[in-house]
Amino acid sequence: MTTHSRRFRFGVQVAKTRPASEWREVASKAEALGYDIFLMPDHLGGQLAIGPALAVVAEATSTIRIGTLVWQNDWRHPTLLAKEAYTLDVLSEGRFELGIGAGGSFPPEFEWMGVPMAPASERVGRVEESVRILKAVAGDDPVTFEGDHYSLTAFESHPKPVQKPYPPIHIGAGGPRMLRLASREADIIGLLPSLGIVTAFDEREIGPEAFDEKVALVRKVAGDRFEEIELNILIQGLAVSDDRKAAIARLRDERGFDHDAWFDSPMVFAGSIDQIVERMEAQRERFGISYYAVFEHQIDEFAPIVTQLAGR
């Protein structure tokens, strides 16, 4: 059991391409509904480029934070990523959160680009170096760095972020090596199944016991830092109904959840508003998870839960 007592925080991940006026509208809607952060994924399909799109969100809003869930590290050199990330922090006046991961959740994207997808161990190694560089170049001094994957010589990055020493870093992690990296370096950890489990049922990865193990590893590696880390879940299934059986049936139909264990997973919620609120409070007590994000199509359905738990 964790001793985390963070207030709840909620995000919505938005990807669908649309005109600027509609993009501003969805940003304003998320802010009005009480969401804490407007997030974008990083894929080649039907979404806008992250930098310009989040800049528009920042311009159209005043309080909601903006962030990435998450940038695929292999697609950008960390110096270029720093420029884009810290530009967004400047333009949002310090409302940006930098989400980064090893990528590879959708391998066809690498085929489309003609870029080989490196083995997981190599991708994780590059993320580790990237995070070190992102932190270093946020400071005032020139950075010289020599790693296995990147090297910098007296590099001065501009602009500097508004948030000091750098914007919150969110690392998506499922496997042990990424969890250890995130435990050492992240301000926010997005708890995930190990990569490769996404399209196949595996009770060992989606059930509560698996998340117990992930959090235990984070606690062990983070040590005294554990209480400073915010734990996040991107909800994979949501059905709000006073009839829990009907909600479960809906998710079986919509998401193909054909095993009862899905409905015990910390990533899936089915039931009434009160039932989901109670479950989230229990998960905060058990795992320390206090930050939940939903996909855009769930923005209205999840909003009453945001209202009930916001700031609690």
Q: Name the residue ranges covered by the structural domains of the chain.
A: 9-309
Question: Quick one: which H or E segment has residue 172?
Answer: strand 169-173
Per-chain mean pLDDT for the chain: 94
pLDDT digits (tens, 9 = 90+) for 146-159: 999 999 999 999 99
pLDDT digits (tens, 9 = 90+) for 169-186: 999 999 999 999 999 999
User: From CA 176, how far away is CA 306, in angstroms rounded?
Assistant: 31
Q: Is 174 helix (H, G, I), strand (E, B) or coil?
A: coil
Q: Whole-model pTM?
A: 0.95
Task: Please give the average per-residue pLDDT across 268-290, as a whole number.
Answer: 97
Is 9-309 in CATH node 3.40.1190.20? Answer: no
pLDDT of residue 4: 54
Indicate whether 84 pLDDT > 90. yes
pLDDT of residue 171: 98
pLDDT digits (tens, 9 = 90+) for 198-237: 445 466 789 999 999 999 999 999 999 999 999 999 999 9
Confidence class of residue 197 from pLDDT cuts 50, 70 and 90? very low
Indicate whether 269 pLDDT > 60. yes
